[in-house]
Structures are given as C-alpha cells and as structure tokens.
Chains A and B, each alone.
Chain A
Amino acid sequence: MSANGGPTRMALIASQGTLDWAYPPFILASTGAALDMEVAVFFTFYGLPLLMKDLKAKVAPHANPAMPMKMPFGPEGFQKFSWPIPNFISGVVPGFESFATSMMKKTFEKKGVATIEELREACIESDVRLIACQMTMDVFGFDQKDFIEAAELGGAATFLEFAADADITLFI
C-alpha cells in the first residue's frame, strides 16, 4: 500500500537505448507490476527507440572498460576468460558492436535471461504505462507508426503527474 492509499507506485525514466541499459527499466517495470505495483516508464532521448516495433538495441563495448568480454561457448575455463580488447580494436574494427551484441545475447540466452522483447511484452500484458517522449520523437525524426501500439505519447508533464504520487522514482 502506498502513502497515498492506492497501490504502491513506481515511476521510471528510461534514457539509454543500448542492449545492456535496456534491461534495468524493463526488468524493474515487469517485476514491479508482478508485485502488484502501478508502474509507468517514460522513454526519452536514447531510451525512446526501446518502444519501436523493431528492437535494434546493441551493446557498445567501446570505451566501456567495466564490460567483461566473454565467449558464450567452449570449455568452462575459456568461457570464464575475460578478453582484453583494446579500444583501438573495439572502436575501429567494423561490425565489432554487432559481434559483441550477438555474444551478449547468446550468453544471456544460455543463462536463462529473458530477452528485451519478452520483458517488454510482460510489461504490456501487466498494464505498465509505456510513455513515449513526444519531444524526442520530433527531435530525432521518428515516425509514430514505427512504434508499438502500447506506447502512449506524452511529455514531461504526463510523466510528472504520475510520478508526483510515486513511492519509487528512478532515472535510468
């Protein structure tokens, strides 16, 4: 029960659109709804494409020294080895992001982690409000027809009206 007497309310802002950063808002939103919370996520700036029908989120290992580079196949010792990829490779080799993205997706699948598509579907099924930032859509020149039907258009005031009574508010 929330302080305002209604269900516990969680308001999230998803501002990043890479594969790794796509997970926290969708995991928290779907789990919050499973715990009977009322949840809304405001997708803004680079987070907005996470509401597109065609999810293209990739991971960017370049200039991300905290990201372990591991192989999702082979003997256990090989899989646990973290490959030291210098920036001049991760930044210059064509297709390196796609390669790293495919490796990360394989690892997640092997570890039984849901895909972003599955988590997003769980959010839609459990009535999480997915607010698409209108301003970002205009600035980046996106077309509303490329977005999922569940996305509702809104701006800062739409989000803040919901967040004003939230028990949990996170900027991701």
Chain B
Amino acid sequence: MSEPVDTQPTPVETATEPIETQDPSSDPTPAVEVDCRGMNCPLPILKTKKAIGTIEIGQILHLVATDPGSIPDIAAFSRRTGHEIVQQREGDGEYTFWLRRTK
C-alpha cells in the first residue's frame, strides 16, 4: 500500500484558554443549568452531553460538579466535541463550567 499524499494543511488549534475568574458579575448567562453535585464519573459528562443538545448553537450551558475529575474530563469533552469552555471556576469543593454550544 502506498503512502497517502497529505494535501490538507494541519488544522491550527484556535481554541482559547478558558477564563478563570472569581468575579461572578462577569458570568455568562446560561440557557441551561446542569447540577452534577455529588455525581461521579462519567455522569457529569453524560448529563452535560444530554443538556447541551437541548440549547441553541451559541447559547451557554452552566455546569456545577463536585467530582475533581470533571476538570480534565470536561476539558477533554470540549476538545473532542468542539463545545467551548468559555469560563470555569473552582472553590468550596465545587467546579463550575460555562460551555458554549458550537455546533
């Protein structure tokens, strides 16, 4: 088998780093709230996936979780699905994310 000729340019990573802010006045207004407090892997991902399908493209999903694994897992969810983490916050044992539906 011959090597496939790669004519496509390598896609450039355009996603920006999520803003970490403690100032609630700048929080985006969510179209849907997902409360995953007390839930363990993989429930925060499954609930987020289900809820993001219920909002319009461009709208914001607000997720609160207590599972520390949700930090790397939501980041991985965002990279795989393309839905953007616009903001996140951590404190009092809670991890809060604002995700924008992109497609």
A114 smallest CB distance to B (angstroms): 5
| Binding-face segment, B12-20, B22-30, B73-81, B90-98 | B73-81
Q: Does A35 lie within 8 Å of B80, measured CB to CB?
A: yes
> Once the chains bind, are A111 and B40 in contact (CB under 8 Å)?
yes
| Number of residues on chain A facing chain B (CB within 8 A) | 17
Residues of B within 8 A of A111 (CB): 40
Is there a chain B Cβ closer than 8 Å to A122's Cβ? yes
Q: Would A112 and B46 count as touching, CB distance under 8 A? A: no
- Known contacts A111-B40, A114-B42, A122-B46; A35/B81 CB under 8 A: yes
Given the interface contacts A112-B38, A112-B67, does A34 sit within 8 Å of B45 by beta carbon? yes
Measured CA separation A119–B38 after assembly (Å): 17
Q: In the complex, are the beta carbons of A34 and B43 less than 8 A apart?
A: no
Q: Please name all residues of chain B whose beta carbon is closer than 8 Å to the beta carbon of A114 when the two chains form the complex.
A: 39-40, 42-43, 46
Apart from A114-B40, A114-B43: 11 A-B pairs, beta carbons within 8 A: A8-B80, A27-B41, A30-B42, A31-B42, A33-B49, A34-B45, A34-B49, A35-B76, A35-B80, A112-B38, A113-B43
